[in-house]
Amino acid sequence: MESTPPIPHPSLSRNLQSEASPQLVHSLHETRSSVLSLAADNTHIFSGNQNHDISVWDKRTYVLKATLRGHTGSVLGLEYAKDKKWLFSSSGDSTVRVWSTETLQLLYVIDPYLENCAGDLFSLAWSSALQTIFVGCQNTSLQWYNFRELSKAISGDSLSSLSSFSGTSTPTYSSSRKAHKFFDSYPQYERRPADIYANNGTPIRAHGRGSPESDGSDIPPPREFLGIPASNVVDSAHYGYIYCMTVLTEREHGVQLATGSGDETVKLWSCETGLPELVHEFSCNHGAVLALVAKGDTVYAGCQDGYVKVLDLETRTLVRTIIVQEGIDILAMSMLDSDLYTCSANGWVKRWSASFDRTASWQAHQGIALSSIIARRNGSNESGFCLITGGNDDHINVWDVVPPKIRLARVDGDGEESSQSCIGSGSFNDTMLYALGKFVTIPSISSDPSHREDCRQAAIWLRKCLGQLGAHTFLLPTGEGNNPIVLGTFKGSMSHKPKRRILFYGHYDVIPAPPDGWNSDPFIASGRNGYLYGRGVTDDKGPIIAMACAAADLLSRRALEVDLVFLVEGEEESGSTGFGDAVRKHKNLIGDIDAIIVSNSTWIGDDRPCITYGLRGVVHCGLEISSDRPDLHSGLEGGAVVEPMVDMVKLLATLIDNNRVVQIPAFYDQVREQTEEEKELYKLLSDVTQRPASLLSSRWREPSLTVHNIGISGPRNATVIPGTVKAQISLRIVPDQDLDTIVKSLREYLHKSFEQFRSPNHLTVTVDHTADWWLGRLDDHWFKSLESAVREEWGVEPLRIREGGSIPSVPYLEKEFGCHALHLPMGQSSDQAHLPDERISIINLHKGKAVIERFLLKVADKNAFETFAP
């Protein structure tokens, strides 16, 4: 029994690790305490721990220099304000403390607005431009304190002198807060009412002055106790805890703040007025957002289940998803130039390049990696960089890391940077081939019930693939026993003007691949002489991946100005069962569509690009003639019975005459006449292909009838008269034949012809599958835009061709969405679609992707688009 081939890992990030992982420089040990937060200045490393303290380590000697005490809960967040030489710390005790990094003295204690109790303070972000500290709270509020207001309130003092304050003046206490029934509750079994000292069973110190029983002499008082006013609170800023935040500066829109939450969203706030105003919300849909880091106009959101969402602030779109490790939470992230470092709950740290490929991976902690920062080794600009990570194994590890340009120069040895330090600078051509190689390994054969699970896994894999490339994805059910549809939407840049929405239709299922005739495993993508071989590479997995990478490339360049909707089914090779019903049911989710594009056929030759503008329709019909008797012996009953086989042969013979003319009444009456323009086109194609024009015409624009097979009951030997005979036939129909009329005429003609035999046998006619013909419009702006894109990319005028085959979903989608379809073949005529050694040219894949990019740019450009209007 053959084993089921393994499903490939869904990650599109290549493993490009070509060097040793970063070297461990030094390890610092906390005493039985998880390292929850980290910060650093020129001379110190600060670590916030579960034991409520902040350890201060000398960056040069790695010696513990001091311990900052005062918090009565775990130190959840640390933020270094370089301009003030201040260290902010936030805690589970619902306070923020401000420390001088020069004297290591406590300067301020900030109480959040506590009308409803802020709970744990998970995250901090400092804006030097606004002189404001932002606080993310457990009660879902966003709060902030503006130190400019403090400078106005302190007469005769300056903020610049506060960093050296000795803590000798008398503090002023903020008003006491009310107890919160959840955050200030005791364990249920104690049956005690909530009070501000409960902290879920752990006594807390009021305002950092020690416990209620303490005289406070063990902790030096701050200069001032500050309270966040009610005006500096956005209640319910999220629908979950605010776990992380980052300030985005040096933007044309001024200071902005990004916040991440347990509600699976990242929110973007404009802070120019002093009051954060929500300007956009990104839905991540992969668990709580636990870590945020920003580089220029790009925000990376680390999610609970091992995904990193790459968000572009300029276009406000999702541009990529990185699968770090599914199901393993990402708890911290740091960036060094274009390198992203992710820290996961399994203790592993991974480095990702600007092209989203993994360039390093190592186990940094024997437990959970909880925190990380990038810092200078010893404060000097020439000292190099280190990645500092903290874990629940009581260790802080310092790793030697270098920027990507320097690192790659070391690897390459030529000083040239092989990966640019900007978003989307990786090669999507490389990603395309890498993804297609994985896609081909899944034997998604829809006609074979034993491969039903493979088809489902192919849909799941493709959904994750499209998601990583920047699409918002869903799986749409198509009924019991049928394969799901993959729906993915690449959303164009946010703008006030309406965007065009283009639907791409494809199919991820393939036909069987018997091993005879193959020179390599059909389900392992093999490259030979410029071609990629494997089942589905040209029909239709290759075009799907090329189309997706084109959208991803435009997203990364902030150039996608249309919505591109992927609708990829898994039953096309088996009649598209359930497709139409599923589309109608989920039409609101798919949305309005302005045009449809398909890539599911090949050129007419191997050297000239083509655009397909017509397909024949099809009627698949089954015939069965049976007698009232079982199978008989011809020696005993031959000549004594009316044989079903004879009736079947006679019936099939009535369908077509000696001149190959179909005999169904009025079959040709509605066939569209050939125009002079068509005749010129067929003459041109005849010259190109060296085939008679009449042959091309008969294949593409004339109807036909085919007898496919005849089957019998009983053993297949020369002495048996079969009691039942079955046959399969098909009709190919063309413009302007009416599908329903043809089906009705076929049924009537078969029954009428059989009645004339006066046979005692019985005829059953079943229409198994139908598809209407399709003819594109050659004079509209959509076709002109596509034709122009092909011409510009290939440097030649594309040939306009038609296909004799059928794609049932194309005319259906046109009618359902009320728009026109376009058909761009990417493969060559020699690609062996449906045959052994199926292949596709790598050049064709690259140029096919480029054509789609050009096309999408053209149709997004209103002025250029309108120049093609008839």
Please name which of 129, 159, 126, 117 lies closest in space to residue 144, comparing C-alpha atoms. Answer: 126
| Residue among 344, 297, 298 nearest 323 (CA) | 344
Cα(393)–Cα(829) distance, integer angstroms: 61
440 contacts 509 by C-beta, under 8 angstroms: no
pLDDT band at 171 (very low <50, low <70, confident <90, very high): very low
Give the separation between CA 843 and CA 827, rounded to whole angstroms.
10
What is the C-alpha to C-alpha distance for residues 135 and 419, in angstroms, rounded to an integer?
36
Across the range 65-92, mean pLDDT stands at: 96
Strand, coil or helix: 681? helix
Give just the sign of the alpha carbon dihedral 642, 643, 646, 652.
positive
Confidence at 172, pLDDT banded by 50, 70, 90: very low
Per-residue pLDDT tens over the stretch 443-489: 999 999 999 999 999 999 999 999 999 999 999 999 999 999 999 99
Q: How confident is the model at residue 49 (pLDDT cuts 50, 70, 90)?
A: very high
What's the confidence (pLDDT) of residue 199?
Answer: 56
d(CA 561, CA 348): 38
CATH topology of domain 428-615+774-866: Aminopeptidase (3.40.630)
Residue 168 has pLDDT above 80, yes or no: no
End-to-end CA gap in the chain: 61
Would you state the pLDDT for residue 599? 97
Topology annotation, domain 70-283 = Lipocalin (2.40.128)
Query: What is the three-state SS of 213-253?
Result: CCCCCCCCCCCEEEECCHHHEECCCCCCCEEEEEEECCCCC
Neighbours of 225 (CB within 10 A): 19
- Residue 246 and residue 244: Cα distance in Å, rounded? 7
Which tokens hold the place of 718? 């020369």
Q: Mapping DSSP to helix (H, G, I), strand (E, B) and coil, where does residue 14 land?
A: coil
Query: How far are the Cα atoms of 121, 258, 503 from residue 113, in angstroms, in the given order?
Result: 12, 21, 49
Q: What are the structure tokens assigned to 536, written together? A: 């589905």
Distance (Å, whole) CA 706 – CA 727: 11
Which residues, in sequence order, are CB contacts of 386 under 8 Å at separation 6+?
A: 25, 374, 375, 376, 377, 398, 399, 400, 401
Q: Is the pLDDT of residue 211 over 90?
A: no
- Upstream peptide bond of 736 is cis (omega within 30 degrees of 0): yes
Between CA 610 and CA 791 the distance in angstroms is 10
Q: Would you say residue 868 has pLDDT above 70?
A: no
Q: Who wins on pLDDT, 608 or 862?
A: 608
Q: What is the pLDDT of residues 503-554, one digit of tens each?
A: 999 999 999 999 999 999 999 999 999 999 999 999 999 999 999 999 999 9
Q: Each residue of 844-856: pLDDT tens digit?
A: 999 999 999 999 9
DSSP 771-836: E--EE--TTSHHHHHHHHHHHHHHSSPPEEEEESS--THHHHHHHHHTSEEEE---B-TTS-TTST
What pLDDT score does 188 carry?
72
Cα–Cα distance, 691 to 178 (Å, whole number):
90
pLDDT in tens, 628-669: 899 898 888 888 899 999 999 999 999 999 999 999 999 999
pLDDT, tens digit, 9 for 90 and up, residues 173-197: 444 455 666 666 777 777 777 776 6
Amino acid in the structure at residue 259: T
Q: CB–CB of 502/596 below 8 Å?
A: yes
pLDDT 10s digits, 767-780: 998 999 999 999 99
The beta-strand segments (E) located in 315-368 are 317-323, 330-336, 339-344, 348-352, 358-363
**pLDDT number for residue 181:** 61
Our measurement of the distance from residue 338's CA atom to the centroid of its chain's CA atoms, rounded to an integer in Å, reads 21
Q: Which tens digit of pLDDT belongs to each residue from 478-504?
A: 999 999 999 999 999 987 778 999 999
Is the pLDDT confidence value at 205 over 70? Answer: no
pLDDT over threshold 60, residue 870 = no
Per DSSP, 15 falls in state B
State the residue for tokens 């996608």: 560
The pLDDT of residue 163 is 40
> In this structure, are residues 662 and 729 in contact, taking their beta carbons and an 8 Å threshold?
no
Q: Where in the chain is the domain with CATH 3.40.630.10?
A: 428-615+774-866
Interatomic CA distance for residues 361 and 340, integer angstroms: 12
Q: What are the φ/ψ torsions at residue 348 (nearest 5 degrees)?
A: -90, 145
Q: What is the pLDDT of residue 494?
A: 82
What residues form DSSP beta bridges with 335?
Answer: 340
Burial 746-756 (b: 16+ CB within 10 A, else e): beebbeebbee
Query: What confidence score (pLDDT) does residue 148 get?
Result: 87
Structure tokens that stand for 64 in this block: 């513990």
Q: What is the pLDDT of residues 303-329, one digit of tens each?
A: 999 999 999 998 899 999 999 999 999
Q: Could you tell me the CA-to-CA distances from 27 to 12, 287, 556, 757 in Å, in that order?
A: 34, 32, 38, 95
Note the pLDDT tens digit of each residue in 269-294.
999 888 999 999 999 988 999 999 99
pLDDT of residue 23: 93
Q: Is the peptide bond before 337 cis (omega within 30 degrees of 0)?
A: no
Tokens coding 401 = 């890391």
Encode pLDDT of 564-575 as tens digits. Answer: 999 999 999 998
Least confident of 14-18, 279-283, 501-505, 734-738: 14-18
pLDDT value, residue 183 = 64
* Cβ pair 856, 562 in contact under 8 A: yes
DSSP letters for 486-502: EEEEEPPPP-SSPPPEE
Q: Which ranges in the chain are annotated with CATH 2.40.128.630? A: 70-283
Q: Alpha-carbon distance 858 to 177, whole Å? A: 61
Q: How far is CA 812 from CA 443, 617, 763, in A?
A: 27, 11, 31
Please state which of the four CATH numbers 3.30.70.360, 3.40.190.170, 3.40.50.300, 3.40.50.2000 is assigned to the domain occupying 617-668+703-771: 3.30.70.360
**Which amino acid type is present at position 29?**
H
151's enclosing H/E stretch is: helix 147-153
What's the average model confidence in pLDDT over 240-269? 90
How is residue 576 annotated by DSSP? Answer: -
Give the residue among 840, 789, 849 at the shortest CA–CA distance from 606: 840
d(C-alpha 541, C-alpha 546), whole Å: 9
pLDDT at 151: 66
Location of each CATH 3.30.70.360 domain in the chain: 617-668+703-771
| The pLDDT of residue 29 is above 80 | yes
**Residue with the two structure tokens 């869903």:** 474
What residues pair up with 321 in beta bridges, in sequence order?
Answer: 309
